[in-house]
Amino acid sequence: MRDGRKVTLSDVAAHVGVSAITVSRALRTPEKVSLKLREEISRAIDLLGYVPDPAARALASSRTDVIGVIIPSVTNSVFADVLRGIYTAVEKTPFDIQLGNTRYSPLKEEKLLKVFLGQKPAGLIVSGIDQSERGRSLLETASCPVVQIMETGENPVDIMIGFSHYEAARAATIHLIEQGYRKLAFMGARMDPRTQRRFQGFRQAAAEAGLFSEERVVTTAEPSSVSLGSQLFCELIEQAPDLDAVFCINDDLALGVMFEAQRRRLSVPDRLGICGFNDLEMMAAAEPPITSVRTFRYEMGKRAVEMLLEAIAVGRGHRGTIVDLGFEVRKRASTARGSCGASD
C-alpha cells in the first residue's frame, strides 16, 4: 500500500518510466525484457511494495497459479502425510494450493469440482477413482491436467498415482497366514470404496486359504479412532472368541486393538496377531511394535505435484499415465508368532 491506495503494475511502470506491459513481462517472462530494465523494475517493485493481484491476472489470462486439491478429509493423518508431500513440492514453485474437503460425499465432491474448475485452476489433484458419473465427466472435460491419487485402477482420467488397496490387503493377509494364524478377523471403519477394496483383498486371500468366515468381520460406518479399535475388538471377540489374528483397516484401529488386548491380557503376538494399515510412525514405536502395511503417502503427494507441474508445462499430454507406488508389509513383533512363542 502507498497512500492507502493499492500499488498496481502501472504505478511500478510509471516509477520506472516504462509501460505496464513491460513490468508484467518482467514478472512473467523475464527473458523477454532487457536485463537493465528488469533490474530497475525489480528495484521499483521492492521500493513500492507492489504485490500482483491474482484476481486481475486470472481474469486477464484465464489462467491461475492455483492447484486444486480435493480430498475426503483434512483430519485423517493419512491425508495429512499426502498434504505434506503436496505442500513440500509446491513450495518452491509459484503455485498455490486450494484445498477442498469432500467429507467422503461424492455429491460434495461434484460440487467442489464444479467450483474448482470454474476457477480455471492450473491443475487438479483428486482423491481416488470413485467419482460420481457427473464428477467423472467434469474431470474428463477439464481444461487442465488432473491427477488422481491414493489408488490405482482402470481408466485414469489423466494421470494416476497410488497403489492397489486390494493387493496391499491381500499381501498383509497372506503374511498373517504365513505366520500361522488361522482364525483371521477383519476390522473396518468408515467403509468407503477404498476400504471396501481392502476388505475384498483380505477376503480373497483368506478364502483362498479356506480361512474366511463372515463371523470374524466387524465393520462400521463411523470414522475410525483408537478407542473405536478397542470397542470393535470387544465386539469381535465376543462374536468369535477363537479368533487369533486381526487385520485392521488402519493403524488407529490396530493400536486400539492392541491396547484392548493388553487390557484383556491376551498376549500379542502369541494369542493374538495384529496387523494395521498405513504404517504410521507410531506403529514401529509401539510396544510391541505393530505390523502394518507401509504406504508411500508423502511420496504420493510430492510426485503428484511434480507430475502435475510437468503436465502443466507441456500442456495435457501424459494422459493415461499410471504410477503404482506399491506398498510394503512391515513385519513386526505383533505378528511374529511361531519362531519363539507357543501357539494355542
- By CB under 7 A, name the binding residues for DNA: 6, 8-10, 18-22, 24-25, 27-28, 31-34, 36-37, 50, 52-53, 56-57, 59-63
Q: How many residues bind a copy of itself (CB under 8 A)?
A: 49
Which cell goes with 294?
507401509
- Contacted by 141, from a copy of itself, DNA, none: CB < 5 to 8 Å by type: a copy of itself
Q: How far is the CB of 135 from DNA (least distance, A)?
A: 22
Q: Which is nearer to a copy of itself, 87 or 322 (CB)?
A: 87
Cα–Cα distance measured from residue 233 to residue 244, given in angstroms and rounded to the nearest whole number: 12
Query: Does the protein bind a copy of itself through residue 263 (CB under 8 A)?
Result: yes
What minimum distance in Å lies between the beta carbon of 87 and DNA? 24
Which does residue 196 touch among a copy of itself, DNA, none (CB within 5 to 8 A, set by kind)?
Answer: none
Q: Which helix (H) or strand (E) holds 26?
A: helix 20-28
| Contact status, residue 125 vs residue 86, Cβ threshold 8 Å | yes
What, of a copy of itself, DNA, none, does residue 284 touch, CB below 5 to 8 Å by kind? a copy of itself
Which of 296, 281, 250 has the alpha carbon at shortest distance from 150? 296
By beta-carbon proximity to DNA, the closer residue of 38 and 302 is 38
> Taking a C-beta distance cutoff of 8 angstroms, is the pair 30, 78 a contact?
no
The site partner of 208 among a copy of itself, DNA, none (C-beta below 5 to 8 Å per kind) is none
All cell numbers assigned to 102: 469432500
Which cell goes with 284? 514401529
Q: How far apart are CA 65 and CA 96, in angstroms?
A: 6
Chain positions 286 to 315 lying near a copy of itself, rule: CB under 8 A, are: 286-287
Residue 24, contacted partner among a copy of itself, DNA, none, CB below 5-8 A by kind: DNA
CB of 307 to DNA, least distance (A): 23
Q: Cα(96)–Cα(99) distance, rounded to whole angstroms?
A: 10
Up-side HSE of residue 159: CA atoms within 13 Å toward CB?
26
Place of cell 479412532: 225
Q: Edge-to-edge, what's the strand order for the sheet holding 184-189?
A: 217-220, 184-189, 245-248, 273-278, 291-294, 328-330
Looking at beta carbons only, is 54 or 223 nearer to DNA?
54
Q: What span, in angstroms and rounded, lies between the C-alpha atoms of 268 and 289? A: 10
By beta-carbon proximity to a copy of itself, the closer residue of 207 and 284 is 284
Contact between residue 23 and residue 13 where contact means Cβ atoms under 8 Å apart: yes
Is 107 an interacting residue with respect to a copy of itself (CB under 8 A)?
no
Site residues (CB under 8 A) for a copy of itself, limited to 183-222: none
- Residue ranges that bind a copy of itself, judged by CB under 8 A: 1, 51-56, 58-59, 64, 74-75, 77, 80-81, 83-84, 87, 91, 96-99, 101, 114-115, 117-120, 141, 225-227, 229-230, 252, 255-256, 259-260, 262-263, 281-282, 284-287
